Chains A and B, each alone.
Chain A
Amino acid sequence: MHYNAALVALLIALAAPVLVLLAGAVRVSFASPVAIGMTALAFAVIVQSYWRGDDRFDVVWAASWDIRFSLELDGLARLYAMLATGIGLAVVVYASRYLPLHLHHDHRPEGEILRFYGFLLLFMGAMVGLVMAQDMILLFVFWDLTAIASYFLIGFDRDKDESRAAALMALLVTGISAVCVLIGALILWKEHGTFALDQVLQSDANSAPVAISAVLIAIGALTKSAQVPLHFWLPNAMAAPTPVSAYLHSAAMVAAGVFLIGRTYPLMDRFDWLLDAFVVIGLLSMAVGGILALTRDVLKQILAYSTISQYGYVVFLFGLGGEHGIGAASFYVIAHALSKSALFLTAGAVTEATGQKNLSGVGGLTRRMPLLTIGSGAAAAGLVALPLTIGFFKDEFYFATAWERHPLFGVAAVGGAALTFAYISRYWLGVFGPFRRGTMPAVEPQVLSRLLVWPIAVLGGLVVAGGVVLGPAMRMAEQAASISLLTDVHVSGAYHFDLRAENVMAMSTWVLGTLLLVGRSVWWRAAIGFSRLGQRVGPERLYGISLTQLNRLSDWLHDIEVRDLRSRIASILVPAGVLVGIALYVTPNGSEFAVGKITRDDAPSILMLLLAMFAALAISLPRDHLNLALVLSCVGYSLSVLYAFMGAPNVALVAVLIETVFSLLFIGMLILMPRTILRYETARRPERRRVRRDALLAAAAGVMAFFVVWGSLSKPAADTTAIDQFIELTPVAHGKNVVTVILADFRGLDTAGEITVIAVGLLGILSLLRIGRLR
């Protein structure tokens, strides 16, 4: 069958949340089958494209800005899209059983599962779009969409404080760094004159702005992949339900970060110091994530820190670069996603069966859950790189690349891998191993639904299958790496029974990891100390402090603003005045102030202006509100007479009408106010000091406004030609009244926007006053 796989995959993925919500609206139990079906369909389309080859879809999106809706399902996109939909399928199947239980435990209505599916599938759709996007703006849109969906997913348990805080943290940290990506994209556009990724990546410009944009994009990517020092959002995000963690933090959200590095690698590749920074950040993440994973007791926390550390490997490999480095990085992402998602799902299953969330609360579950043990055992074996798993090769490539570059990197690589070996073994042996701890409660684990076990078993099976049949994963890694490097890449691996460097390194990893596991008493204190130090002076603490201070600043400003009406007006006028003052000061020709000629014909206008001026001054006199409203209208009426004198009858008519309606509305609102307050305000004598302060503020704002108006009127209007054109064209447009023709024709779109605002305003006013009625 002939179809465009890129477009079809995206459409299926984006239609999925809509269809699930529609099905769920009919009956909640319809939602799960639809979600599973749509995810499977999207997965199938992407898998099929492995044989069909690449597909492109490209249409103009916003022509005037040169933005295209351009997708390409290439090797890199296929790898990540396959992970996003494939792991997504396992997670959705798992969630179809897990979520109802989760909601039931929390006494929440079962319909909330729709919200879960909606945002999870939206995330999947955004991810599929992101990996295929070939236009920088399109890429940014999908990138931000993942951040928004992740916010709702992490905060799914919205009645829990920690969930909301974690969701906000993830949104702020990844959202602010997303802005970096956008700025980077805009700089690149400025440099290359296009948003098309392929053109930007194929150029070899390495000027300073391009370097800045590369750094900005790298910041966005590293933050999304939870790399040190912006890693702290990830462990907090574990407040989400387990399927969310399993999906976002193995194959989707964090993978998006390294995907972006892979996609923009030709850009990163131009700057050696940036690649060196990747090496440093990757090693740091490996170490920090690994050490902290060893100290954690909560099951999901161990896995969260492990993810930080594992993506540290990938970033490290990107930093080493070259054919081997990029190939290894791509392969690593596949192997890690399979294993890690299975281990996350295992944590959820174990908690569901025993009610325990901590490693110290469980143990010896093998006998009760044989299939879960085997499935998660295979996944854990993959992560610690035992032979006959796909994970063995991820480490082989990783060791080979590191050793090839420098023996010191080889040593660091072994250290990181040993940490992984230690904490994953600690996790798996702690849950399933026979080593029962003293304080463990003797709770009989519940029998788990098949839907909670089989997805893990299948993922575990894939981990083993990938270690036996290497071809597909390697082809995928090859194709992905070829896109990153813009040349053909060859990735190959096989079991070698000799003492080559990789094999020796792998074996030393196992020995070292076992030693770490056994000699816990030696390093335990140091690791805990490191963890405490991180809590006290680490980046998370900095985030907390800046958030608190920002909140305090906002509260302070808000308090000033709402103290009374004067402060509120002052809080608008004064900053506006200051900003205008700065603008006038720095504008090169801002100081041109001309005084025009005054002729005898201007006398009526001056008279009216004087009237308006006196009325404006008189506003400060009356104490009671009715007179105030009347004096205020006096200003408006005198100005409308001025328009009439100046030969603008249309404007004058509108001004009179507006003034009338506003005066009436003012008086109408006065009746709505409590009489006591009006009387109190009328009788009150303000303090002298405040009167003086108010006068000063008013004068400052007024002077600024005066200078702005004077300055702009001193210059010949820029578009007098446009106005002349309007006047000239008016008869052609069937009109004699220029103003009306401008409103309905030349500038009709503006009018359409304005009347839309009026209609929305009416809705607002009616609902406000109607809520008042229900009060």
Chain B
Amino acid sequence: MTTVLTRLIARALLLPTFLIALAIMLKGYADTGDGFSAGVIASLGVLMQCVAFGPEELDTLPLVKFAPAGTFVGLMLALSIVFIPALFGAELLTHWPAAGDSATHFGTLEFITPVIFDIGVFLVVFGFCIGVIGAIARAQQRVLRDRARYDNAVAERVASREAGR
């Protein structure tokens, strides 16, 4: 079991991690970072919770439970950015607004389709990491439980044999 200190720090760092991930993703077009890095950073934050509180935490954290399914939502999001232009007769992955046109700003954030594409990438990476971490953590618990059960069974058999003797 982890100490209170570990758990406290893990929980305290969760929101800042998410914020950094969000910033890295949204500012990716102007600064270092992109959806991929953001996805990995966010999932490292969740992994920390997993280490401190155990894999059950993955099910209790809001929204994180849906992250693995989010992989496919993200994939669809990114692929629709790729394919929807084709419906209008444009090349695959034609971004909007077109090159050189001005885009709507909100601070440094620009409303352009590459950002949506990047959000798709983020969801895929985040979901992948959470899904794999969760699957491995659950498998680990199962292995540990099986091992304990096996040890108990052996101990019981030894005990009964000795009692019989």
Please report the C-alpha to C-alpha distance between residue A744 and residue B121 in the assembled complex, in whole angstroms.
Answer: 9
Which of A669, A748, A773 meets B136, CB within 8 Å?
A669
Q: Which residue of A lies closest to B146 (CB)?
A: A775
**Quick one: which of B118-139 are within 8 Å of A by CB?**
118, 120-121, 124-125, 127-129, 131-133, 135-139
The verdict on A658 contacting chain B, using a C-beta distance below 8 Å, is yes
Q: How far is the CA of A758 from the CA of B126 in the complex (A)?
A: 11
CA distance A735 to B47 in the complex (A): 32
Q: From A671, A733, A740, give the contact of B34 (CB < 8 A).
A: A740
- Within the complex, which residue of A664, A736, A741 is in contact with B114, where a contact is CB–CB below 8 Å? A741
Of chain B, the residue at the smallest CB distance from A748 is B93
Chain A residues near B95 (CB, 8 Å)? 733, 745
CB-based contact A759/B30 at 8 Å: no
Cβ–Cβ contact A755 & B74, under 8 A:
yes
Q: Is the CB of A732 within 8 A of B100?
A: yes
Chain B residues, CB < 8 A from A733: 95, 99, 114
Is the CB–CB distance between B33 and A740 below 8 Å? Answer: yes
* Least distance between A768 CB and chain B CB atoms (Å): 8
Asked if A657 and B136 make an inter-chain contact with CB atoms under 8 angstroms apart, the answer reads no
List the B side residues contacting A769 at CB < 8 Å: 135-136, 138-139
A740 touches B140 (CB 8 A): no
B34 touches A734 (CB 8 A): no
Quick check: B99 and A732 within 8 Å, CB to CB?
yes
The answer on a CB contact under 8 Å between B135 and A737 is: no
Interface string of A648-669 (1 = CB under 8 A from B): 0110011001101100110011
A672 close to B33 (CB less than 8 A): no
Partner of A668, one of B120, B136, B144, B147: B136
Q: Mark B44-57, 1 if CB is under 8 A from A, else 0.
A: 10010000000000
**Interface footprint category on B:** 35 or more
**Residue pair B82, A749 in contact (C-beta under 8 Å):** yes
Q: Which A residue sits closest to B28, measured CB to CB?
A: A740
Q: Smallest distance from the beta carbon of A666 to chain B beta carbons, Å? A: 11
Are A649's CB and B32's CB within 8 A?
A: yes
User: Is B64 in the interface zone, CB < 8 Å from A?
Assistant: no
**B79 lies within 8 A of chain A by Cβ:** yes
Q: Is the CB of A759 within 8 A of B37?
A: no
Produce 1/0 per residue, B66-100, CB < 8 A to A: 00100110110011011000000000110101011
Task: Assess the B117–A748 pair: CB atoms within 8 A.
Answer: yes
- Complex Cα gap A16–B32 (Å): 55
* Bound CA–CA A735/B34 (angstroms): 12
- Interface check B40, CB cutoff 8 A: yes
C-alpha spacing A654/B71, complex, angstroms: 19
Choose from A669, A732, A752 the contact partner of B79 (Cβ within 8 Å): A752
Which residues in A have their C-beta under 8 angstroms from that of B34?
Answer: 650, 737, 739-740, 743-744
Interface string of A741-775 (1 = CB under 8 A from B): 10111001101100110110110011001101100
Q: How many angstroms from the CA of A668 to the CA of B143 in the assembled complex?
A: 12
Give Cα distance in the complex from A170 to B117, angstroms.
47
Query: What separation, in Å, do the CA atoms of A756 and B75 have in the docked complex?
Result: 7
Across-interface contacts of B23 in A (CB, < 8 A): none
| Bound CA–CA A580/B79 (angstroms) | 36
A700 contacts the other chain (Cβ, under 8 Å)?
no
Q: Does B31 contact A (CB under 8 A)?
A: yes
Kindly state the separation between the CA atoms of A723 and B93 in the bound complex, as whole angstroms: 20
Q: Which of B33, B93, B138 contacts A650 (CB 8 A)?
A: B33
A18 beta carbon closer than 8 Å to chain B: no
- Minimum CB–CB distance for B97 against chain A, Å: 8
Which one of B31, B100, B139 lies within 8 Å of A672 (CB-CB)?
B139
Given A654-B37, A744-B34, A772-B139, is A665 in contact with B120 using a C-beta cutoff of 8 Å?
no
Contact: B29 with A748, CB < 8 Å?
no
Interface size on A, as a range, is: 35 or more
Instruction: State the CA gap A657–B44 with chains docked (Å).
Output: 9
CB pair A665–B136 under 8 Å, yes or no, is yes
The answer on a CB contact under 8 Å between B128 and A745 is no
In the complex the two chains form, is B118's CB within 8 Å of A744's CB?
yes
User: Are the C-beta atoms of A751 and B121 separated by less than 8 Å?
Assistant: yes
A204 to chain B minimum Cβ distance, whole angstroms, is 41
B112 in the interface (beta carbon within 8 A): yes
* Chain A nearest Cβ from B24, distance in angstroms: 8
CA gap between A654 and B31 in the complex, in Å: 14
Q: Which of A657, A734, A743, A759 contacts B112 (CB 8 A)?
A: A734
Residue of A nearest to B147 (CB): A675
- If the complex has contacts A668-B137, A732-B100, A751-B121, are A657 and B82 also in contact, measured as CB distance less than 8 A? no
CB-based nearest B residue for A746: B93
Min distance, Cβ A770 to any Cβ of chain B, angstroms: 8
The CA of A719 and the CA of B57, in the complex, are separated in Å by: 48
Within 8 A of B (CB), among A709-728: none
Cα–Cα, bound, A749→B86 (Å): 13
- Bound form: Cα–Cα A761–B68 in Å: 12
Name the distance in Å between A763's Cβ and chain B's nearest Cβ: 9
Given A744-B117, A761-B128, A736:B143 Cβ within 8 A: no
* Contact of B149 with A by CB under 8 A: no
* Inter-chain contacts of B75 with A (CB < 8 A): 755-756, 759
Q: Contact at A671–B143, with CB atoms within 8 Å?
A: yes
A349 to B54, CA, bound (A): 69
B103 contacts chain A at the CB level, 8 A cutoff: yes
Given contacts A733-B95, A761-B128, A773-B142, contact A744 B114 (CB under 8 A): yes
User: In the complex, are the beta carbons of A758 and B124 less than 8 A apart?
Assistant: yes
User: Does B131 lie within 8 Å of A762, measured CB to CB?
Assistant: yes
Chain B residue contacts of A168, Cβ below 8 A: none
User: Which partner residue on chain B sits nearest A769 by CB separation?
Assistant: B135
- Distance in Å from the Cβ of B83 to the closest Cβ of chain A? 9
Query: Are A736 and B30 also in contact (CB < 8 A) when A669-B136, A765-B131 are?
Result: yes
| Beta-carbon contacts under 8 Å, A643-698 to B | 649-650, 653-654, 657-658, 660-661, 664-665, 668-669, 671-672, 675
A756 and B99 alpha carbons, distance in the complex (Å): 26
> Is B31 a contact partner of A737 (Cβ separation < 8 A)?
yes
Give every chain B residue within 8 A of A654 (Cβ-Cβ): 36-37, 40
Known interface pairs A745-B114, A759-B71; A734-B29 also in contact (CB < 8 Å): yes
Residue of A at shortest CB range from B110? Answer: A734
Question: Does B22 make an interface contact (CB < 8 A)?
Answer: no
Contact of B10 with A by CB under 8 A: no
Q: Which residues of B sit under 8 angstroms from A749, Cβ to Cβ?
A: 82, 92-93
Residues of B contacting A751 with CB < 8 Å? 78, 117, 121
Shortest beta-carbon distance, B34 to chain A, in Å?
Answer: 4
| A661-B40 contact, Cβ under 8 Å, with A737-B31, A743-B34 | yes
Answer whether residue A729 sits at the interface, using C-beta atoms and an 8 A cutoff. Answer: yes
Q: Which residues of A contact B58 (CB under 8 A)?
A: none
Q: How far is the CA of A330 from the CA of B97 in the complex (A)?
A: 61
Among A665, A734, A748, A752, which residue has the most Cβ atoms of chain B within 10 A?
A734
Residues on B with beta carbons closer than 8 Å to the beta carbon of A729: 99
User: B116: nearest residue on chain A (CB-CB)?
Assistant: A744
A772, B128: Cα distance in complex, Å: 19
Using a CB–CB cutoff of 8 Å, the interface residues on chain A facing chain B are 649-650, 653-654, 657-658, 660-661, 664-665, 668-669, 671-672, 675, 729, 732-737, 739-741, 743-745, 748-749, 751-752, 755-756, 758-759, 761-762, 765-766, 769-770, 772-773
| Among all A-B residue pairs, the 5 with the closest Cβ atoms | A657-B40, A744-B114, A769-B135, A740-B34, A755-B124
A/B interface sample: 25 pairs, CB < 8 A: A650-B32, A657-B44, A660-B44, A668-B140, A671-B143, A672-B139, A672-B143, A733-B99, A733-B114, A734-B29, A735-B29, A737-B29, A740-B33, A743-B118, A744-B28, A745-B95, A752-B82, A755-B74, A755-B78, A758-B124, A758-B125, A759-B128, A765-B131, A772-B142, A773-B138
10 additional A-B pairs beyond A661-B129, A766-B68, beta carbons within 8 Å, are: A660-B44, A661-B40, A668-B137, A729-B99, A733-B95, A751-B78, A759-B128, A762-B71, A769-B138, A772-B142
